Amino acid sequence: MTDRRQIVRHLRMFNELGVQGVSRDASWRARATAAEGDEAPAPVAIASGAGSVESEAGDPPLAREGAATVDSDAALAALRANIGDCTRCPLHAQGRRQVVFGVGNAHAHLMFVGEAPGADEDREGEPFVGRAGQLLTKIIEAIGLRREDVYIANVIKCRPPGNRNPEPIEVATCEPFLREQIAIIQPKVIVALGTFAAHLLLASDAPISRLRGRVHPIGGGIRLVPTFHPAFLLRSPERKRDTWEDMKIVRALLAESA
């Protein structure tokens, strides 16, 4: 892909996320920050001629540095092996093709947690690979990261039939796997994508619209930022701007923890 095509693609991506313009001019950045009245870093700027995205806050850390006391890759592989061709909850007999474990950097500072695999994910064996997944990739790239820099998982590892909501017994049975993934990866920040992930990780039943826009410490040095699920954003694109605001919070948290 040429630099020019990359720039066009990035501009379209930011436009979809509700960013109203990009400029390298310092006064534009100051105006945007003052108008929005937040303390998050200023909007991103496109490096002229470089075809890349620059973060005003500098590049946030992509992964934990140094040797972890536990080999996170090996620990995740051991967990995946332990899950196996899981039959622990009723979903194993309701048409799922495979367990969709999770994907990404085992040492990531940033983790995304969604609800459950859909049809595309069930077929591919990877979370967030359908249209909602493509939007999630754009959201990740909007804060200057790549999909492979973060870790992506779901509350439920198997596809509910017809994409129905997970049943409480399914959540309760599968939840320990997510908790173990979090314990292994030890991210600095978790983005809960949608109601199910936010409710589980915050032990709250408040609407996602009330939970988002704020940072929730959840113990272990982890800060949780709820936002809308990308599938919801596809149905309600007017809420993309809210998710962009949430992602600016995430970007600031990552820069702060560098």
Give the interface with ligand SF4 as residue ranges (CB under 6 A).
83, 86, 88-89, 91-92, 99, 156-158, 170, 173-174
Minimum Å distance from CB 201 to ligand SF4?
16
Q: Which is nearer to ligand SF4, 37 or 84 (CB)?
A: 84
| Closest distance to ligand SF4 from the beta carbon of 167 (Å) | 10
Minimum separation from the CB atom of position 88 to ligand SF4 (A): 4
Beta carbon nearer to ligand SF4, 68 or 83: 83
Q: Report whether 184 contacts 106 (CB < 8 A).
A: yes
Identify which of residues 85 and 205 has a Cβ nearer to ligand SF4 in the complex. Answer: 85
The C-alpha atoms of residue 4 and residue 210 are separated, in whole angstroms, by 40
Work out how close the CB of 84 gets to ligand SF4 at its nearest, in angstroms, rounded to a whole number: 9
Buried b (16+ CB within 10 A) or exposed e, 42-81: bbbbbeeeebebebebeebbbbbeeeeeeebeebbeebee
- Dihedral sign for Cα atoms in the order 117, 118, 122, 127: negative
| Beta strand pairing call for 45-46 and 53-54 | antiparallel
Query: CB of residue 233 vs ligand SF4: minimum separation in angstroms?
Result: 25
Question: What SS3 state is found at 172?
Answer: helix
What contacts 71, CB < 8 A, 6 or more positions away? none
Q: Which is nearer to ligand SF4, 35 or 93 (CB)?
A: 93
**Of the two residues 89 and 247, which places its CB atom closer to ligand SF4 in the complex?**
89
Q: How far apart are CA 169 and CA 136, in angstroms?
A: 28
What SS3 state is found at 191?
strand
Specify whether the backbone of 171 is left (phi greater than 0), alpha (psi in -120 to 50) or beta.
alpha
Q: Rounded to the nearest whole angstrom, what is the least distance from the CB of residue 45 to ligand SF4 in the complex?
A: 43
User: Closer CB to ligand SF4, residue 89 or residue 182?
Assistant: 89
